[in-house]
Amino acid sequence: MYRGRFAPTPSGPLHLGSLVAAVGSYLDAKAHHGKWLVRIEDVDKPRAIAGAADTILKQLETHGLEWDSSVLYQSQRDLVYQHQLTQLQKAQRLYQCDCSRKAIRARSAHYDGYCRNRQPRTSPYALRFVNQNPVHEFNDRAHGIITDHSATVSEDFVLKRRDGLYAYQLAVVVDDIEQGITSIVRGSDLITPSFWQLSLWQELIGKQPQMMHLPLIMNDDGRKLSKQNHAPPIDSRQASQNLLIALDYLDIGLKPEQQQSTTTEILQLAVQNWRKKWHITGR
Ligand code: GLU
């Protein structure tokens, strides 16, 4: 059974770029007659903006994007993440690293495994994953085979940060596995972390989900539309129009007269177009 998800970080309201990821993951789940879950990625508690998670959920509802099971909040899952770290520690797949960013950068462009065989003497320290079988290739449903043999992909990435927070790479994989996610559909800015995450999937359960990375929306100066570059929030009073714009970016544009349609009608048509575009067959 297909299970997909949308996993926004609540650092602000949805903008057009994040709406595209939401719509793409929703359509793919519905086109497969699967479930679509929503997870609030507030593992980085200091970055979460008060009220943003509720705003995002309301925006999704206004756009007719209804999720199938209760929303999971990463901020409530410290014990689960800690349990997983303890397991990895027992399996000797973690080590302490007290290198500062500056020290790492002074040595190399990526983390060079400096602390793998060394007992750091100073705290605070991060916990790094012994990435001994890095994934260098995966079959992406939109891009085909993606290969990366760079040292970055083989790096021993951080699972618990020096500031004591659980790292995004750990939270996302632990949650995707626990939520039974079979397909991850998200923006192409996450291709590099996908290699790390797939290595961790492989380590934890010996299998990998399907991946699909969607096109990113660029602003006028060629940078990705994001909260960091102050992308404006979508206006929920124009939900149908916003959906049509998102569908254009996903290359399954509907006719402009559909602006008069409800969000439900638009999404139903879009599911059919998505099935055609990606050759999804079955019931
Ligand atoms: N929380 C991430 C973001 O908002 C997305 C993570 C994911 O889809 O895996 O950029």
Q: What is the pTM of this model?
A: 0.94
For residue 185 and ligand 1, the question of a CB distance below 6 A is answered with no
Q: Supply the DSSP string of 68-106, one letter for each residue.
A: SSPPEEGGG-HHHHHHHHHHHHHTT-EEEE---HHHHHH
The confidence score (pLDDT) of residue 228 equals 66
In angstroms and rounded to an integer, the radius of gyration of the C-alpha atoms of the chain is: 20
Which has the closest alpha carbon to 245: 9, 55, 18? 18
The whole-angstrom separation of Cα 129 and Cα 159 is 6
Per-residue pLDDT in tens (0 to 9) along the chain, 283 residues: 999 999 999 999 999 999 999 999 999 999 999 999 999 999 998 888 999 999 999 999 999 999 999 999 999 999 999 999 999 999 999 999 999 889 888 888 889 899 998 877 778 899 999 999 999 999 999 999 999 999 999 999 999 999 999 999 999 999 999 999 999 999 999 999 999 999 999 999 999 999 999 988 877 777 766 766 667 899 999 999 999 999 999 999 888 777 789 999 999 999 999 999 999 997 6
Contact 169, 200 (CB under 8 A): yes
Give the architecture (CATH level 2) of 1-76+217-283.
3-Layer(aba) Sandwich (3.40)
8 within ligand 1 shell (Cβ under 6 A): yes
How far is Cα 227 from Cα 16, in angstroms, rounded to an integer?
Answer: 10
What is the CATH T-level fold of the domain 78-179, as seen in this structure? Rossmann fold (3.40.50)
Q: Mutate which of 5, 38, 40, 172 to test ligand 1's pocket (most atoms within 8 Å of Cβ)?
A: 172
- Which contiguous run of DSSP H or E holds residue 175? helix 168-178
Helices (H) and strands (E) in the chain, counts: 8, 10
User: What pLDDT is recorded for position 257?
Assistant: 78
Domain boundaries, the chain: 1-76+217-283, 78-179
Q: Tell me, what amino acid is at 221? A: D
| Number of the ligand 1 atom closest to the C-alpha atom of 197 | 9
User: DSSP secondary structure string, 200-233?
Assistant: HHHHHHS---EEEEEPPPB-TTSPBP-TTTTPPB
Token pair, residue 79, equals 């014990």
In testing the pocket of ligand 1, which one of 3, 6, 41 has its CB within 8 Å of the most ligand atoms?
Answer: 41
Q: How far apart are CA 184 and CA 186, in angstroms?
A: 6
Distance linking the first and last C-alpha atoms of the chain: 12
Going from the Cα of 260 to the center of ligand 1, the distance in angstroms, rounded, reads 31
Query: Ligand 1 atom closest to Cα of 18?
Result: 4
Q: Give the pLDDT score at 252.
A: 92
User: In angstroms, what is the span from residue 20 Cα to ligand 1's centroid?
Assistant: 12
Q: CB of 271 closer than 6 A to ligand 1?
A: no
Nearest to 241 by CA among 253, 227, 229, 225: 253
**Rounded Cα–Cα distance for residues 113 and 49 (Å):** 34
> In whole angstroms, how far apart are CA 192 and each of 33, 45, 117, 195, 215?
29, 23, 26, 6, 15
The pLDDT score that the predictor gives to residue 218 is 76
Contacts of 173 (CB under 8 A, 6+ apart): 197, 200, 201, 204
3-state secondary structure of 237: helix
